[in-house]
Amino acid sequence: MKNYLLIFCICVIFNEAQSTETKIVHIIQNEIITNVDIKNEFKYLVALNNSLKELDKEQIIIISNQSVIREKIKKIEISKNFKEIKINDEYENLLLKNMYSNLNLKSLYEFEIYLKDYDLTLDKIKKKITIDALWNELIIKKYSSQITINKQQIRDEILNNSNIQKREYELSEIIFEIENKDELQKKYEEIKKSINKIGFKSSASIYSVSESAKTGGRIGWIGENSLNKKIKKNIIDLKIGETSEPIILSLGVLLLRVDNIKNSKINIDRDSEFKRAINYERNRQLNQYSKIYYNKIKKNLGFDG
């Protein structure tokens, strides 16, 4: 009942945000979240993932509310671990380039023009990517020593698959959580129904607990040799546009959608392929630790909104 009441209040406050009055929706320690914050997040998420426009306004408001909460909680923890919320210019420019390239834009200038259509500024975007970057740096500092990767197994797989035919997959993901295995099929059927109705990208924004939810679950291009056996087994027979069966991970359930496939007749650079595979597996594990740490902080803050 509490959640329904909260959603109703957020929707009412958001609709009232057409006026100039600012209203507080949440207070998390020393951070406040207002109706204006949620409205700006609404615009930001739609700018990153245009498929959200296909959702009901109320659904986007709920997604925006959850997204702002995550950002504020991360900001609180970052402030405790860094002297200032800032990254160097070179890294910032790289992150901006990755962002506008994912939107098929060719320059920072084009990106700025694009943002104006959503009443957003480059400064606002920079603040957001800085929080995400510092959060990732914090997770690396805390958990990099706990990453376990079987390098020999990865190297052997690459050696066994080092032929002139190289397959790459463009992938998107939904990572969802369940209380127990009995809940898996019900949740999976719910998400599958959503995918059929509103598409994978919009469904990722609603159901996925991964950071990639902001961009409709987009992962990008991954070489088949960079995928571990479990994941490769689940997508190897998929055609473009198809979604995998649930892949059970230690911290959630993964669905992968094949957005595109390309085969290249090249001589595989084994060293480069090995590095890519290590990075993919390392990032996958760090994303899991990121979720653990976030939930721990949220619990310690006593916030259950």
Tens-binned pLDDT, residue by residue, of the chain (305 aa):
445 445 545 555 555 555 558 888 899 988 899 999 999 999 999 999 988 888 888 889 999 999 999 999 999 999 999 999 999 999 999 999 989 998 999 999 999 999 999 999 999 999 999 999 999 999 989 988 888 887 887 777 767 765 545 788 999 999 998 888 888 999 999 999 999 999 999 999 999 988 888 889 998 888 887 788 888 899 989 999 999 999 988 778 999 999 999 886 555 667 777 777 787 777 778 888 888 899 899 888 887 66
Domain boundary among 88, 112, 144: 144
Q: Is 305 inside any structural domain? A: no
Domain range for residue 281?
Answer: 151-300
Same domain membership, residue 214 and residue 195: yes
Same domain membership, residue 165 and residue 109: no
Domain boundary among 112, 144, 176: 144
Same domain membership, residue 157 and residue 99: no
Q: Is 131 inside any structural domain? A: yes
Q: Is 58 inside any structural domain? A: yes
- pTM equals 0.77
Nearest alpha carbon to residue 102 among 270, 20, 244, 215: 215
Same domain membership, residue 128 and residue 107: yes
Same domain membership, residue 112 and residue 178: no
Same domain membership, residue 276 and residue 163: yes
Domain boundary among 144, 167, 199: 144
Q: Is 64 inside any structural domain? A: yes
Same domain membership, residue 289 and residue 157: yes
Structural domain total, the chain: 2
